[in-house]
Structure 1
Amino acid sequence: MPKEHLNTMFRGALILSISSLVAKILSAVYRIPLQNMVGNTGFYVYQQIYPIYGIGMTFALNGFPNFISKLVAEQPDETSKSLVTRRAFHILSGLSLVIFLGLQLGANWIAIRMGDVRLAPIVSSVAWMFIFMPWLATGRGYYQGQFLMGPTAVSQLIEQVVRVGVIIMAAYFSIHRGWDDYHMGTWAMSSAAFAAICSSLVFTGFGLKHLLAPAPTATRPLPSYRKLTKRFIVEGGTLCLVAAVVILLQLIDSFSVMKGLVAQGQLPEIAKSLKGVFDRGQPLVQLGLVVATSFSATLLPALTNALAKRQFIEFKRHTQAMVHVSLALSMAATVGLIVLMPQINRLLFGSLEGTTALRIYVLSIIFAALITTYTSVLQSLNQYTAMIIGIVAGLVTKLALNYTLVVRYGINGASLVTALSLAVMFGIMWLGSPDDLQQVLLESGYVIKLLAISAAMGIVVLISSHEIQALVGPAMANNRGIAGIITLVGVVIGIIVFVGGAVVVRLFSIREWLVLPYGKRLIKAVAKGKEHHS
């Protein structure tokens, strides 16, 4: 691959990574003011239907665009690229029409299966976004196939900003105009269609030229619609499945948690509120994942480059750095959240409800981060079997156990099954990955060192938070400001203890330190300290 071509690809990957990071942060953070504005039941109404939106955006943003970019990159000339994109658009249009009609005609059925028939209009409102899915997916896929990531990045940011804006406006109007939770939910979910319209405008020029203009004459034979459809189902479907893992678990929760709580003996209104409390875990896990995977993802272009140049030792080193950094950050975030959960729960959501369930739920961060990292590596190696088997096994685990454990243990049971399902997924992926990739976690006692540092950090942060609580006294215990101070102090102490412990036990290699923020400065500071002592 020419050097200029590689540089363009890496610049594009960086642009897309930054926009994805901003979009993920926005997607996680807006839920906190939303819950504060509409309460537990309003949050339940929104979160029940959110997984349908999430799956649609996975189709339009990750799974199908990535597959279409591969199709486009395979074509030898511009005419073939344009024609294969047009065929992909036709196939996706058929799929999106089937999904749209299925959601519109089946809205009542879906709502009843979720245990709340009043959710039907919200299902109908979110269905409209699927109309725009073919346009978005083919536009993004075409430009990505040309190594131009700018249009995808811009459309991604527009989509999130517009959607979050409409959702917060819907919550605001629900408070000031006395809307009920379901009316608010309908408008909040209509944000998906508004956002899709606005982000689709980025691809107007592309659509007029490649989708709506008269088709150019083919210069060479193209893959048939039948062959392309088969590849969409197998290859595109696999990419969508991998990208939608956490959302699919949330979808299973939508169909089983509320019904399980009612079967347990809770009144429907109490069950809705409890489901809203359980859903507090989703933004926490999402934020934890952003922290855990964003820095390790910076190694992806280097990983691709090493593989393209057949530099297998370098590929292994980059893989090890990705896994080590991702696991360390996810472990630190998880232990910190577990220890500080009472304060975080009060600070962000205004109460201590569901603290135990949330502590269990955030264990998902570790396994979800490892799944994200391992899938990136396995995809670069074109090894999909272990991924698919792992994901299917995890989803079957969730389906089989969720309702039963909710009936028995309430929302604690749902949290436990989520973490267990992700653990099953990762376990199978790990066992099915190449030996070199398995050994990455086992080399040089890395996991034992990490567990020791995390335990030390957790104990120090726990003692510190108890000391501050004792200092301010029980009268101030329910104050959100005090909870914020304890959280902030806990985070600072946790970082100091974790980084200090990592330096002492030599948890990271120099390559791994350089991936982390201020890692370069830390290496220099440690080197100067050694020189000073010697």
Structure 2
Amino acid sequence: MGPEKKAKELFKGAFILTFAALIVKILSAVYRVPFQNIVGDVGFYIYQQVYPFYGVALALSTYGFPVVISKLYTELSSKKEKNGVQHLFITSALILFIIGFICFAFLFWGAAWLAAQMKDPNLAILLKVISVTFLIFPVVALLRGFYQGRGNMVPTAISQVVEQSIRVITIFFAAFLLTSKGYSLYVVGGGAAFGSVTGGIAAIIVLITFYWIGRRKSHLPFAKFDIQKNIQIARALLVQGFAICVSSLLLVFLQMADSLNLYSMLISSGVDALEAKELKGIYDRGQPLIQVGMVVATSMSLSLVPIITSEKLKSNFAFMHDNIRLALKIALFVGVAATIGLWSIIRATNIMLFENSEGSEVLGILSMMILLSSIIMTVTAILQGLGIILFPAFVILSSFLLKYVLNAILVPLYGTIGAAAASCLTLSFIMVFLLVKLRSQVRTRILNKRFILIIGIAALSMFMVLRFYLYMTGYLTGFEEGRLFNGFQALSAVAVGGFIYLWIVLKGNTFKEKELTMLPFGSKLLFFLPKRNRR
């Protein structure tokens, strides 16, 4: 295979995985809204308490180990080290099954203890259900790494989409069936958690089916035991796998900290147990909103990361710096729009999605996480593209401890508003650390003041226009509280605010035509550019 054809195949594979990941992220975010509508805030609280543990298993089987296994497989194959490839799969299988069993054992036999730490013993059954996913992930990760290493991204992509689809179907089926039968919300939550098991099994079936179909062209190899070779592979797998997994777990770490001490802190501060569950459930409404906002912001900026990596390998540093700046500009451009736009219409959005306006102030503060996490994920990907893997992983890992401590300080004083502030403060700390690291690596200015000023003016203008728009439409209709009317307000406000924001930013000479055409749907934005800037 020639270099040009090989590059095209790599690009095609990356596109397939990116598209599948986008579908998975949208599914993971969107299903929470109807699920909350079915089970209510208390039921949503129950499910969200254990979700972070599934998030860890998902990262292990999707973002971490398959990537490292495929990378090592490619390196060994290029050197024609057949024996090394054989050792890779033997060692990987052993390590993954050990990790999976340890995690399973901790969650299954430690479920009662962990639920007690959360101050809700009834969660133990849900934790035991989730623990099974850690027995499934080694098979999924190994097979995905095998196919990706061979350059075949289709099995991985299809298995990801099928896994999430079956999981979501199971969640809805369990929610409808068990609530209609009058079971407790904890049983309903256990049924929903079982979706992680059915999804994982579905992924294995898909991957094994692909292996069975192509068994004549590919086979999982075996070799004699070589302690030195196995130690080298194990070290690379654990270090790199850890770094990539952790870097994808930013929001999961924050959710896990909330699961461990937010509810207990509310109880300790004198809130009734049922009310505390409702407050936590209302607070968790922010998760799908943050995820959708992040998908929009990061899907555009992260599309430039492969170009940054390529230019670094070519030592084309000027072009690399230009693309780093563009990636950050896009993350800021889209992140600010999503954050300020959502904050402006949060009450109408809350009623549209969750039937009432409870916790709108908390969700407004949480919307800041879209901007902060979008910048963090973009900078993390850029640093990884530059070959800096461990630093962002350790910084992101620290988010759990910082968030946990800030919760302990702020929740007793301000309740769930304190928890929302703790999340934003944690992300701000992580963002500053990563930006300083990036600045030290590129040794050049990464964002200019003029761009930030125009973004600020556009955001303020959008906020003022939207507040006026919501007031006037509410005034003309007598400030209706209905879900349908608030849905109309929210969706029409997105169009109004989006147009105002785009017009100001793009007319402000912030992007060039060449920059916009590099982005998904960027050609649609050329209409807003001033004629003198179309070059």
Alpha carbons 1:47, 1:279 under 8 Å: kept: yes
Q: Give the AA of the match of 2:23.
A: V
C-alpha distance in 1 between matches for 2:219 and 2:69: 20
Displacement after TM superposition at 1:2 (Å): 1.2
Alpha carbons 1:80, 1:222 under 8 Å: kept: no
Alignment equivalent of 1:115, drawn from 73, 98, 119: 119
Task: Name the structure 1 match of 2:192.
Answer: 188
Find out whether 1:84 has 2:65 as its counterpart. Answer: no
Alignment equivalent of 1:126, drawn from 120, 124, 130: 130
Q: Give the AA of the match of 2:172.
A: I
**CA distances 1:385-411 after superposition (whole Å, capped 9, x unpaired):** 541342244333212111221111111
Alignment equivalent of 2:511, drawn from 502, 508, 511: 508
Check 1:440–1:69 CA distance in 2 against 1; reply closer, same or farther (3 A cut): farther
TM-score of the superposed pair, with normalisation by structure 1: 0.93
Alignment equivalent of 1:350, drawn from 355, 364, 370: 355
Q: Give the AA of the match of 1:503.
A: L
C-alpha distance in 2 between matches for 1:153 and 1:250: 26
Displacement after TM superposition at 1:79 (Å): 5.0
Task: Name the structure 1 match of 2:31.
Answer: 30
Aligned residues, how many? 527
Check 1:203–1:86 CA distance in 2 against 1; reply closer, same or farther (3 A cut): farther
Alpha carbons 2:509, 2:533 under 8 Å: kept: no
Alignment equivalent of 2:501, drawn from 498, 502, 517: 498
Name structure 1 gaps, 5 residues minimum.
Answer: none
Displacement after TM superposition at 1:216 (Å): 4.1
C-alpha distance in 2 between matches for 1:463 and 1:340: 11
Task: Name the structure 2 match of 1:337.
Answer: 342
What is the RMSD computed on CA atoms of the aligned residues?
2.3
Displacement after TM superposition at 1:146 (Å): 2.4
Displacement after TM superposition at 1:207 (Å): 6.7
Check 1:437–1:402 CA distance in 2 against 1; reply closer, same or farther (3 A cut): farther
Alpha carbons 1:42, 1:276 under 8 Å: kept: yes
Q: Give the AA of the match of 1:117.
A: P
Check 1:514–1:217 CA distance in 2 against 1; reply closer, same or farther (3 A cut): same
**CA distances 1:217-248 after superposition (whole Å, capped 9, x unpaired):** 47x97853333333333221111111111101
Check 1:437–1:246 CA distance in 2 against 1; reply closer, same or farther (3 A cut): farther
Q: Give the AA of the match of 2:493.
A: G
Find out whether 1:309 has 2:309 as its counterpart. Answer: no
C-alpha distance in 1 between matches for 2:108 and 2:327: 43
**CA distances 1:278-322 after superposition (whole Å, capped 9, x unpaired):** 000010000000110112222233233323333222222222221
Alpha carbons 1:293, 1:326 under 8 Å: kept: yes
Check 1:424–1:74 CA distance in 2 against 1; reply closer, same or farther (3 A cut): same
**CA distances 1:229-280 after superposition (whole Å, capped 9, x unpaired):** 3333322111111111110110010011100111111111110111000000
Find out whether 1:198 has 2:202 as its counterpart. Answer: yes
Q: Give the AA of the match of 1:177.
A: K
Task: Name the structure 2 match of 1:57.
Answer: 58
Check 1:414–1:53 CA distance in 2 against 1; reply closer, same or farther (3 A cut): same
C-alpha distance in 2 between matches for 1:274 and 1:214: 50
Q: Give the AA of the match of 1:5.
A: K
Alpha carbons 1:430, 1:438 under 8 Å: kept: no
C-alpha distance in 2 between matches for 1:73 and 1:523: 40
Check 1:437–1:472 CA distance in 2 against 1; reply closer, same or farther (3 A cut): farther
Check 1:347–1:223 CA distance in 2 against 1; reply closer, same or farther (3 A cut): farther
Task: Name the structure 2 match of 1:253.
Answer: 258
Alignment equivalent of 2:230, drawn from 225, 228, 248: 225
Alpha carbons 2:13, 2:151 under 8 Å: kept: yes
**CA distances 1:481-501 after superposition (whole Å, capped 9, x unpaired):** 110111112101111101110
Alignment equivalent of 2:383, drawn from 353, 364, 378: 378
C-alpha distance in 2 between matches for 1:106 and 1:445: 54
Q: Give the AA of the match of 2:273.
A: P
**CA distances 1:339-380 after superposition (whole Å, capped 9, x unpaired):** 100000000001111111111111111111111111111111
Alpha carbons 1:260, 1:407 under 8 Å: kept: yes
Alpha carbons 1:324, 1:512 under 8 Å: kept: no
Displacement after TM superposition at 1:156 (Å): 0.4
Task: Name the structure 2 match of 1:486.
Answer: 489
Q: Which moved more, 1:283-292 or 1:304-313?
A: 304-313
C-alpha distance in 1 between matches for 2:454 and 2:220: 63
- Residue correspondence of structure 1 range 235-250 to structure 2 within 5 A: 235-250=240-255
Displacement after TM superposition at 1:102 (Å): 1.3
C-alpha distance in 1 between matches for 2:26 and 2:172: 16
Q: Give the AA of the match of 1:398.
A: K
Check 1:66–1:517 CA distance in 2 against 1; reply closer, same or farther (3 A cut): closer
SS in 2 for 1:310: coil
C-alpha distance in 1 between matches for 2:190 and 2:443: 46
C-alpha distance in 2 between matches for 1:82 and 1:20: 29
Check 1:11–1:214 CA distance in 2 against 1; reply closer, same or farther (3 A cut): closer
Displacement after TM superposition at 1:438 (Å): 7.0
C-alpha distance in 1 between matches for 2:351 and 2:532: 41
C-alpha distance in 2 between matches for 1:437 and 1:446: 19
**CA distances 1:398-449 after superposition (whole Å, capped 9, x unpaired):** 1211122111111101111111111111111111224465755432522122
Alpha carbons 1:325, 1:512 under 8 Å: kept: no
Task: Name the structure 1 match of 2:288.
Answer: 283
C-alpha distance in 1 between matches for 2:255 and 2:35: 18
Name structure 2 gaps, 5 residues minimum.
Answer: none
Task: Name the structure 1 match of 2:17.
Answer: 16
Find out whether 1:471 has 2:472 as its counterpart. Answer: no
Q: Give the AA of the match of 2:407.
A: N
Displacement after TM superposition at 1:66 (Å): 1.4
C-alpha distance in 2 between matches for 1:156 and 1:206: 14
Q: Give the AA of the match of 1:230.
A: R
Alignment equivalent of 1:146, drawn from 139, 146, 150: 150
C-alpha distance in 2 between matches for 1:402 and 1:86: 43
Check 1:116–1:292 CA distance in 2 against 1; reply closer, same or farther (3 A cut): same
Find out whether 1:413 has 2:414 as its counterpart. Answer: no
C-alpha distance in 1 between matches for 2:521 and 2:242: 39
Alpha carbons 1:10, 1:301 under 8 Å: kept: no
Q: Which moved more, 1:443-452 or 1:349-358?
A: 443-452
C-alpha distance in 2 between matches for 1:178 and 1:515: 53
Displacement after TM superposition at 1:175 (Å): 2.7
Q: Give the AA of the match of 1:405.
A: L
Alpha carbons 2:88, 2:230 under 8 Å: kept: no
Alpha carbons 1:171, 1:188 under 8 Å: kept: yes
C-alpha distance in 1 between matches for 2:49 and 2:232: 36
Alignment equivalent of 2:164, drawn from 157, 160, 163: 160
Alpha carbons 1:96, 1:134 under 8 Å: kept: yes
Alpha carbons 1:361, 1:418 under 8 Å: kept: yes
Alignment equivalent of 1:445, drawn from 433, 442, 450: 450
Displacement after TM superposition at 1:110 (Å): 0.8
Task: Name the structure 1 match of 2:40.
Answer: 39
Check 1:524–1:259 CA distance in 2 against 1; reply closer, same or farther (3 A cut): closer
Displacement after TM superposition at 1:523 (Å): 2.5
Displacement after TM superposition at 1:456 (Å): 0.9
Displacement after TM superposition at 1:515 (Å): 4.1
Displacement after TM superposition at 1:62 (Å): 0.3
